[in-house]
A and B are shown apart, each in its own frame.
Chain A
Amino acid sequence: NAGVTQTPKFRILKIGQSMTLQCAQDMNHNYMYWYRQDPGMGLKLIYYSVGAGITDKGEVPNGYNVSRSTTEDFPLRLELAAPSQTSVYFCASSGTGGASRTDTQYFGPGTRLTVL
């Protein structure tokens, strides 16, 4: 299993540009999450999904959009990039959203985004 994969690894955007961060998992997990991590800080939840076709906002959703058309993929869209969106973005997945005593989150390697 590849686990959770993210592309690209690095990206530099100009202010006002748009891009999509890709995330895929091959563990047949229903739950997927997007986090951002600013330098020296913890992770903040942007959006999450409990299954294909179902998404909801996390703590910091402004400036982002998501879609979940398949169980495997959960892309994050940035429209009109701003310097405040400079961060490292992590995608994660879990099998049952914490509802099982064995459930844990699996994280991807991250995408480092710089907006200039």
Chain B
Amino acid sequence: DAKTTQPNSMESNEEEPVHLPCNHSTISGTDYIHWYRQLPSQGPEYVIHGLTSNVNNRMASLAIAEDRKSSTLILHRATLRDAAVYYCILRDIINTNAGKSTFGDGTTLTVKP
């Protein structure tokens, strides 16, 4: 299974943009890049995902490198509620893999007021 590498922790100031990096150098052509976040004492929640093109939704933007070996989750204006652990995972669209994903330890984002 392809693995991802993320920094252990990052800090941001409130109202400023945050760029969370993820490396996935062994990604396969059928892997989607997914981002989830886990607020304290809660289960993970979906943030965004993409395959090749950059993606935007109401929560964040996802920038994917041209070679797909890395991606960046962008929070345009961090708020205190964005303080969480952010996981970058790969999900294979081949049905036989059943969407099994490997969650690394993620990046703990601290937002300072």
Q: Give the interface of A toward B (CB within 8 A).
A: 4, 31, 33, 35, 40-45, 48, 50, 56, 58-59, 90, 92, 94, 96-101, 103-110
Report whether B44 and A99 are in contact in the complex, using a CB–CB cutoff of 8 Å. Answer: no
Within 8 A of A (CB), among B25-78: 32, 34, 36, 42-46, 49, 51
Q: How far is the CA of A44 from the CA of B111 in the complex (A)?
A: 27
Report whether A98 and B98 are in contact in the complex, using a CB–CB cutoff of 8 Å. Answer: yes
Say whether, besides A90-B43, A101-B32, A42 and B103 are in contact (CB < 8 Å): yes
Main secondary structure of the interface of B (DSSP, over half): loop
Report whether A97 and B101 are in contact in the complex, using a CB–CB cutoff of 8 Å. Answer: no
Distance of A27 from chain B, by nearest CB (Å): 13
Within 8 A of A (CB), among B82-113: 87, 91-95, 97-106
Report whether A106 and B103 are in contact in the complex, using a CB–CB cutoff of 8 Å. Answer: no
Which chain B residues lie closer than 8 Å to A92 at the CB level? 43-44
Partner of A97, one of B34, B42, B43, B97: B97
Which chain A residues lie closer than 8 Å to B102 at the CB level? 45, 59
Partner of B91, one of A48, A59, A103, A110: A103
Report whether A98 and B92 are in contact in the complex, using a CB–CB cutoff of 8 Å. Answer: yes
Say whether, besides A31-B99, A42-B103, A45-B100, A104 and B49 are in contact (CB < 8 Å): yes
Which chain A residues lie closer than 8 Å to B36 at the CB level? 105
Report whether B99 and A101 are in contact in the complex, using a CB–CB cutoff of 8 Å. Answer: no
User: Contacts A4-B43, A43-B87, A98-B101 given; 12 further ones with Cβ under 8 A?
Assistant: A40-B105, A58-B100, A97-B97, A98-B92, A98-B97, A103-B99, A104-B34, A105-B101, A106-B46, A109-B43, A110-B42, A110-B43
